[in-house]
Amino acid sequence: MQSRFFTLTDYPTGLPSRELFSLASKKLPDLGEGEVRIRNHWLSVDPYMRGRMTSMRSSYIAPFELGQPMEGGAIGEVIETNDSRLNVGDTVSHMGGWRDIAQISATGVTPLPDINVPEQAYLGILGMPGMTAWTGLNLIAEFKRGDNVLVSAASGAVGSLAVQLAKAKGCHVVGIAGAANKLAWLESLGVEPVSYRDRSAQELSDAIKLASPNGIDVYFENVGGACLEAALSQINEGARIAVCGMIDSYNAATPPPGPRNLSQLVVRKAKMQGFIVADHWSNYRQFLDEVAPQVAKGDLSYKETIQEGLESTPDAFLALFEGGNTGKMLVKLTD
């Protein structure tokens, strides 16, 4: 059986060019001990993957190996197994993405829970992005009822759950996004929408103030750049900033300078803390128990931006950096 997969041919500087992603194919060997073969239905592309496209090992995740199959979240169906925990026909989540057929160790393969949601939800609102939103608010920012909460990239896979969890907690919530349809979606969720388009940090700060006259107690940061500078100008005493990511600088060949007003951290006695969701995965069951029933009932909204076919995976990934997604960006595979 053949597996088709993407590899990186070189590490990019700046925004990766499409040509660096190469589609390859190989005949799969016989299944090894403890291995499983999966036909993927859905592939995930996520901004954090840009951090693996570098020769420099960061502290928490290894770079993609050039010429090898790339990796990422995926949902698929077991078609052959050498592990007794898994059965042919099981729908599973795993990290053997960026390919159609994955043959991997069963260690990191998890059957989906029996909850009445579409399977691809486990790549979005019930998967890593959803868990990231929950972790940032609960464990890093320690949000509480009545907080004034600001979320950047608020219509993205992470941000869109963050704003809804904050609304559900009884917070006043402001969401930053760009396109009109994203702002409209946020408004429909009870969020005060603020556009970053054509606005300086100062103008964005003024817009945030208008949307949250009592300042900002919690900032869920996905973007950096002007969003961070604008947010810092509006934080209240004791504010907590959970830094999930700074997509603004992921593709910068030379990273742009940081905010001019970092000393607001002192004046406002504020905390700014980065986190990686993998460190908090022991809380995944708690997250699922809390969030999954609300998703099943339709009380929590989520959107998907879907590209079709394995070939479209690099384009889906690159579109993340151009605001090309509302909610979760997914690649759907069909036979």
Q: Residues interacting with a copy of itself, by CB under 8 A?
A: 51, 58-60, 224, 228, 236-237, 243-246, 249, 254-276, 279
- The two structure tokens encoding residue 77: 């169906």
Nearer to a copy of itself, 6 or 48 (CB): 48
**Residue 332: which H helix or E strand, with range?**
strand 328-332
| Distance from the Cα of residue 277 to its chain's centroid | 10
Nearer to a copy of itself by Cβ, of 279 and 299: the residue is 279
Smallest gap from Cβ 331 to a copy of itself, in A, equals: 25
Write the single-letter amino acid at 207: A
Nearer to a copy of itself, 4 or 199 (CB): 199
What is the dihedral sign for C-alpha 166, 251, 318, 56?
negative
Nearer to a copy of itself, 195 or 249 (CB): 249
The pairs formed by 90-97 with CB atoms below 8 angstroms and a separation of 24 or more are 91/41, 91/119, 92/36, 92/38, 93/122, 93/123, 93/127, 94/38, 95/71, 96/38, 96/40, 96/69, 96/71, 97/40, 97/43, 97/44, 97/70, 97/71, 97/72, 97/73
Q: How far is the CB of 149 from a copy of itself (least distance, A)?
A: 19
> Could you tell me the smallest distance in angstroms from the CB atom of residue 141 to a copy of itself?
12
- We find the least distance from the C-beta atom of residue 157 to a copy of itself, in angstroms, to be 17
Give least dist CB 26 to a copy of itself, A: 33
Cα–Cα dist 312/119, whole Å: 20
**Shortest CB 216 distance to a copy of itself, Å:** 13
The DSSP 8-state label assigned to residue 112 in this structure reads: P
Is 61 or 79 the residue whose CB approaches a copy of itself more closely? 61
* Locus of tokens 């556009």: 195
H-helix or E-strand spanning residue 185: helix 180-188
In the complex with a copy of itself, the residue whose CB is nearer, 146 or 258, is 258
